[in-house]
Structure 1
Amino acid sequence: MTFTVAIVGRPNVGKSTLFNRLIGKRLALVDDQPGVTRDRREGEAFLFGLRFKVIDTAGLEEAFDQSLEARMRQQTEQAVSEADLVLMLIDARVGVMPIDEHFAKFLRKGKTPIALMANKCEGKVGDIGLMEAYSLGLGEPIPFSAEHGLGSSDLYDIIKEHMEKAAEDKVVASPYIPPANLEAEEEEIPATQDDSEDHDFLDDDDFEEEDEEIVRGPLQLAIVGRPNVGKSTLVNKLLGEERLLTGPEAGITRDAISVEWEYQGRPIKLVDTAGLRRKSKIMDKVEKLSASDTIRALKFAQVVILVLDSDGILEKQDLTIARTVIDEGRALIIAVNKWDACPNKDEVMQLVRDRLQTSLPQVKGIPVVTISALKGQNLNKMLDAVFNIYEIWNRRIPTSGLNRWLSELLEIHPPPAPGGRRIKLKYITQARARPPTFAISCSLPEDLPASYSRFIENNLRDTFDLPGVPIRLHMKKGDNPYAGKKKRNN
């Protein structure tokens, strides 16, 4: 079991800044506005060779009703109960507030060890707050600056001490990594074998996509959609616990929260994202940060589930999100939520098919699944569709089969000859998968009509059974083998 550290404190004391520093990435949203963080976010932290799990939490609020603040407090309490060590932050520049005293009393009642950190101690401004921190009864406070990293060595000593103490009572997975190992080079991954031959017309510089990834690790599955369509409810139902905040309020989720999960023995990383609205309607700075975080999560996903509300099917914003997913080369599944409350099921399904056909003609066969996230209906069917389209997204087609297909296609439907110049399509190979990407050697690629390229793509999709995933087709003019060579003298 991994050693877990939870970061708690009242709003706007620097919890997310400390979380980002420990994990070495700017994952958690940070802003001067209080209460930016709502869900608890987990990450793998590294500190001078120590490796542990860290949990960023919402600001502690004294609320015990059914409000959003009360639900945020419950999430924080859950994080404290799961942690092996709690880091309680106060703002040393402001000093100890009554709410700090209240939650220090709450933490003292628990069994989880506590380390008190006086954040924002850079300079002399925080000296008074540092002295006041002793009054909380949580031991000697650690002067710290999450923004600048001051006091990191003291934090290292505290965490290492509690790790060693916890290791005496339970087995902790990899509690310490010697610093020398941090400089070791990563193990070299062997290149993927391909049955295609090397051809001069294939050049990696001609493709904007990244090199093909090795298929390994958990499936990256992002849940996206407009606000209040049931994304967090869907994730909670899949996990079987109230892991994410839900409620009638629109726009509860702000951070893109990833959760490790397993379905039928297959590992999945579920990513819940903030709802996306039109850019013209986004005025709040935090919402802009949330939208950027959602787009970032979408780019790193492999399969994306676009959740729709059965009351508002494929509106303009839904189609914008779908196009973004396709443009990024991700596999897309559409989940129509709240299906149990839909009165006109046949009309809604026909509307979905019509809009997909007219607005997303470049990707035919996008899977559409009707679900109820609240009642858990059809979730297995949705996940089966996820793994099916993931397999298509990863599919590689032998070069020999591709060229037989191209030869037969050209015999029946040869390319046009604009201006009387004949265009030759010589050779095709699959340059990459994820998504399926093909390169064709073409004598005059600049003259080939876009309509004929679409015809090739559609025929390729139908022949090799590639429904629902984006296909990238590149026309490349083959290099002249005699270019640059001097003529021989007779």
Structure 2
Amino acid sequence: MPKHVPTVAIVGRPNVGKSTLFNRLVGKKVALVDDLPGVTRDRREGEAQLLGLDFTIIDTAGFEDENALTLPGRMRAQTEAAVASADVALFLFDSRVGILPLDEEIARWLRAGSTPVVLVANKAEGKAGNDGVLESLSLGFGDPVEMSAEHGEGVADLFEALLPLLEPEGYDDTPDEPAPYYDEETGPLKLAIVGRPNAGKSTLVNRILGEERMITGPEAGITRDSIAIDFMWQDRPIHLIDTAGMRKRAKVQDKLEKLSVADALHAIDFAEVVVLLLDATLGLEVQDLKIADRVLEEGRALVIALNKWDVAEGPSSLFNGVRAALDEGLAQARGVPLVAVSAATGKGVDQMIAAAFEVREMWSKRVGTGALNRWFERAVEANPPPAPGGKRIKLRYITQAKTRPPGFILFGTRVDQLPESYRRYLVNGIRKELGFGAVPVRLTLRAPKNPFDDK
């Protein structure tokens, strides 16, 4: 049995360096970092390793004293949930600024709880933080760990403070048992939820998980980071990613929003299947088609979900209208799965996830060379390639070079003159007759090398 992996939550007021420390402990820049306070909103988890000590680290939103119904209040509720579930809380403060009233309030809240606390004086490089370190003794957590999350100073001291709390029976440096092996077809489904702001992505994620894991509300653009969560659906593992809303590029002026959109695009690159969530009360817009086109360009399998179906007017005509518009606007993947869902009620959510597993299966499919070329011969016989300038284009054979997304290589002579319409004819045939559905298919044309080309 693999040993238990403890959990550590980072808490503190806004802009004390929590996300910087999170990135330092996971070993890569995962959480968005900016000088603007309040960048982090949802709690983000990552696998941390500190001098051989393994634990799950949770980055939380800046702790603020606001009404529970406001956005900062809902962010605070997420932080409180993270600390309650953690084995240890890292209470971070800015040693250069010193102890502020909000730091004192956080300390009172932590002292009232049962989670062990390690006080961390961040930005303590040099002597600029000395006064803040002395002030922090009044918080009641003893001497703080002095460190610089940005420069990596003090990590050994942090290790010594965490070790007795995470390994109370002594440090066990025996290797864990290897994680269970998953192959590409049966491993965790890497599923990203994308769409315009306020389409209901975080509400949908909460519905899927059965808990208020993501912050939601009427404000557009609440989610900033792409948040990844692992869970099981009908005994099948899923790596679910909630992303920030993507507006038209011309409207994205704010630096932080640009970082959020870049993070969402990175999530698309990482995913196997992408669910594009539409707002059924608004219908299909040009921005939706642009997002869908980006997903297909990156070679990811796509599922379209019409959200807010429980409040949509004329649902039947709306569904048919969106279906027709998708088939026209996404000619390269006509027939992409379209599912009506309601994040508020849960309607259609299971069908959406089932569709995601189905398209991943098509996305991962491989066809034997014999069956592939038998189809190819029939396709060429039914519709021979044109002869531009009276010179015949001879197509010899085809092979599947890769999967995820499926890629094929077509060999022949004068293939550089093959019209795009004929290439589409072959790709559509591959999708329809070989069972690849609406997943993106790549077709590369290749001619044999002429030995006299270099003469």
TM-score, length basis structure 1 = 0.89
Aligned with 2:189 (options 209, 212, 219): 219
> What is the CA–CA distance in structure 2 between the aligned matches of 1:215 and 1:229, rounded to whole Å?
30
Deviation of the 1:124 alpha carbon = 1.3
More displaced stretch, 410-419 vs 232-241 = 410-419
Contact 1:51 1:176 in 2 (8 A): no
Deviation of the 1:347 alpha carbon = 2.1
What letter corresponds to residue 274 of structure 2 in structure 1?
V
The answer to whether structure 1 residue 277 and structure 2 residue 247 are counterparts is yes
- Write the deviation string for residues 334-384 of structure 1: whole angstroms up to 9, x where unpaired: 100111111111221122122112211111210100011101111111111
Deviation of the 1:132 alpha carbon = 1.1
1:229 corresponding residue in structure 2: 199
SS of match in other structure, 1:406? helix
- Write the deviation string for residues 187-209 of structure 1: whole angstroms up to 9, x where unpaired: 9x9xxxxxxxxxxxxxxxxxxxx
1:76 corresponding residue in structure 2: 79
Deviation of the 1:78 alpha carbon = 0.4
The answer to whether structure 1 residue 453 and structure 2 residue 454 are counterparts is no
Deviation of the 1:479 alpha carbon = 3.0
Aligned with 1:308 (options 267, 278, 294): 278
The answer to whether structure 1 residue 474 and structure 2 residue 444 are counterparts is yes
SS of match in other structure, 2:82? helix
- Percent identity (aligned): 52
Aligned with 2:45 (options 37, 42, 52): 42
What letter corresponds to residue 28 of structure 1 in structure 2?
A
SS of match in other structure, 1:347? helix
Deviation of the 1:412 alpha carbon = 2.1
Q: Map 1:287-298 to 2 at 5 A.
A: 287-298=257-268
Contact 2:184 2:364 in 1 (8 A): no
> What is the CA–CA distance in structure 1 between the aligned matches of 2:9 and 2:422, rounded to whole Å?
57
Aligned with 2:407 (options 397, 417, 437): 437
> What is the CA–CA distance in structure 1 between the aligned matches of 2:36 and 2:378, rounded to whole Å?
63
1:115 corresponding residue in structure 2: 118
Q: Map 1:78-93 to 2 at 5 A.
A: 78-93=81-96
What letter corresponds to residue 218 of structure 1 in structure 2?
P
1:372 corresponding residue in structure 2: 342
The answer to whether structure 1 residue 408 and structure 2 residue 382 are counterparts is no
The answer to whether structure 1 residue 30 and structure 2 residue 10 are counterparts is no
> What is the CA–CA distance in structure 1 between the aligned matches of 2:112 and 2:19, rounded to whole Å?
25
2:352 corresponding residue in structure 1: 382
Contact 1:51 1:177 in 2 (8 A): no
Gaps of 5+ in 1: 169-174, 190-212
Deviation of the 1:50 alpha carbon = 1.1
Q: Report the CA distance shift for 1:298/1:176 in structure 2 as closer, same or farther (over 3 A).
A: farther
Gaps of 5+ in 2: none
What letter corresponds to residue 163 of structure 1 in structure 2?
L
> What is the CA–CA distance in structure 2 between the aligned matches of 1:419 and 1:133, rounded to whole Å?
84
> What is the CA–CA distance in structure 1 between the aligned matches of 2:454 and 2:35, rounded to whole Å?
65
Aligned length: 449
2:289 corresponding residue in structure 1: 319
The answer to whether structure 1 residue 161 and structure 2 residue 131 are counterparts is no
What letter corresponds to residue 429 of structure 2 in structure 1?
N
2:153 corresponding residue in structure 1: 150
> What is the CA–CA distance in structure 1 between the aligned matches of 2:186 and 2:150, rounded to whole Å?
35
Deviation of the 1:422 alpha carbon = 1.3
Q: Map 1:50-199 to 2 at 5 A.
A: 50-165=53-168, 176-177=172-173
Aligned with 2:235 (options 265, 277, 280): 265
Deviation of the 1:405 alpha carbon = 1.2
Q: Map 1:315-394 to 2 at 5 A.
A: 315-394=285-364
